[in-house]
Amino acid sequence: MIRKDLSAGAATRSVVLRYALLVALALHFGAITLVSTRELSWLVAHGLTMAPASWRGPARTLEDFSVAALAENLDPGNTWQQTVATYLNLAGIQGAYGFFAPNVSDAYRLVFEFQSPDGHVEQDLPHVSSEESAVRLAGLLDEIARTHIDVLREALVKLLAAEAWENHPGATTLRATFRSTTVGPVGRPNTHISEQILYAYEFALPQEAP
C-alpha cells in the first residue's frame, strides 16, 4: 500500500514537472516571438523594408501590441516591467532576436543647438574620431530611436551632448533634436530628402563645463 502511494506520488510530481517545463518553454518561445515581431513590425512601420506603404498602419498596431505584451509601455520602475526586461536580457532574447537587417546608415541625426546669453545659437553634432566610433554612434542612435523608455532615451542624448558641450563653453541652454532622415529610392539621386523631428529636449547648462 505504501509502495503504491509512493509510486503514485512520484508519478504526480513527474506530470507536474513535465507541465511546468512545457509552460516555461512556451513562455520562452513566446517571448522570442514577441521580440522578433516587435523588431520586424518596427522596420515595416518605418518604411525600412520593401513592404508596401499600406502595411505601415497594421505594422504599427502590431508593434504596439508587442510592446504592451513585453511590458515595455509600463513605467521603468514597475516591478513587472523590470522582471520581463531582466529575463529578456539574461536569456539573450533582447539582442539575439531583435535584429533583422543591417543598420540603415544616416537614417537618424542628433542635432545640438547651443544658445549663448546674447541669443547667439551654434549648431553641432555628436563627434566621432574613427570608423569604429562612427559605427558605435550609429548603433547608439538606433537604440535612441527604438527604445520605448523615455528616461533611457533622454540619458543617451545627454551622454552624447556632454562631449559636444566642451566646444561651446559659453552656452547657457541646449536644445537637442533627434531626427529621422528619409532618403529617396536607390537610383534616383535627385529625390528630395525629408527630415522629421522625432524627439526634442531642452537643457539648462551651468556656466562652467564639467
pLDDT at 146: 78
pTM of the model: 0.53
pLDDT at 105: 46
CA–CA gap between residue 59 and residue 38 (Å, rounded)? 9
Percent of the chain exceeding pLDDT 70 equals: 81
Q: Which of 100, 97, 101 is nearest to 31 (CA)?
A: 97
Average pLDDT of the chain? 80
Maximum Cα–Cα distance for the chain, whole Å? Answer: 94
CB-based burial of residue 122 (10 Å sphere; 0-12 exposed, 13-18 middle, 19+ buried)? middle
pLDDT at 101: 45
- 162 pLDDT band, cuts 50/70/90, is confident
Task: Count CB atoms within 10 A of the CB of residue 59.
Answer: 21
Q: Which three cell numbers stand for residue 187?
A: 537610383
CA–CA gap between residue 155 and residue 147 (Å, rounded)? 12
Q: What is the pLDDT of residues 7-58, one digit of tens each?
A: 666 677 888 888 999 998 998 998 889 888 888 888 888 777 778 889 989 9
At residue 28, φ and ψ (nearest 5 deg) are -65, -50
* Residue boundaries of the structural domains of the chain: 2-96, 108-204
Q: What is the pLDDT of residues 81-123, one digit of tens each?
A: 888 888 887 887 776 555 544 444 457 889 999 998 888 898 9
